[in-house]
Structure 1
């Protein structure tokens, strides 16, 4: 009986992870370093981490809009330009930001695969 409960929990977790993966894939395109760097020139580069993390290190040209402040900063973003999102690793912050932006009518949303930790382009450090 206990084994069935464990398997049920494991199955529920896997199903939840699959559901979240499909949701984010519908909202945004996950891209590698090369594609992300090519998009920077024509897009809006947004770092969704907290300000302290942003000031320590960020991609050159990025604006800091923490994911929990995105709603109040929405007017600063243009819907006619691609939005490029990143954080340290691809986590809940970029996921929430991408889903929210999609819901608000943004159509071109890109996420840096593996986040800033894997970025090999230009950065600004303090």
Structure 2
């Protein structure tokens, strides 16, 4: 199987990424990119590891920002904000593929995957915080 990147950003990119050959369709796996599945934006924490964040802002704040569901780091996204954009994409683009029984492989960052699992498995915000991926 050959991965083929599909573009859905507008009519022209969709048209250009359309596959016409039956043989190619049968031998390819469509790869659809979606910015909605990007990792959360950590704002002022961007680029810092956990130890650096704790050293700069304090361990308590670092844990709260990284693990709480609805408290964003300075100039960044909370887990809830990241979840909302990922779940909208899943609901609109992925679930319609799953309902008729299609297999869908999702490659994304940990937090985006966490929310997708939260949505599909109907986990609470408390349950998803302790989910290790």
Bin for the TM-score computed over the shorter chain: under 0.3
More contact order relative to length (CA 8 Å, sep ≥ 6): 1
Q: What is the TM-score when the length of structure 2 is the normalising length? A: 0.25
Structure (1/2) with the larger strand percentage: 1
The structure number with the bigger radius of gyration is 2
Structure (1/2) with the larger helix percentage: 2
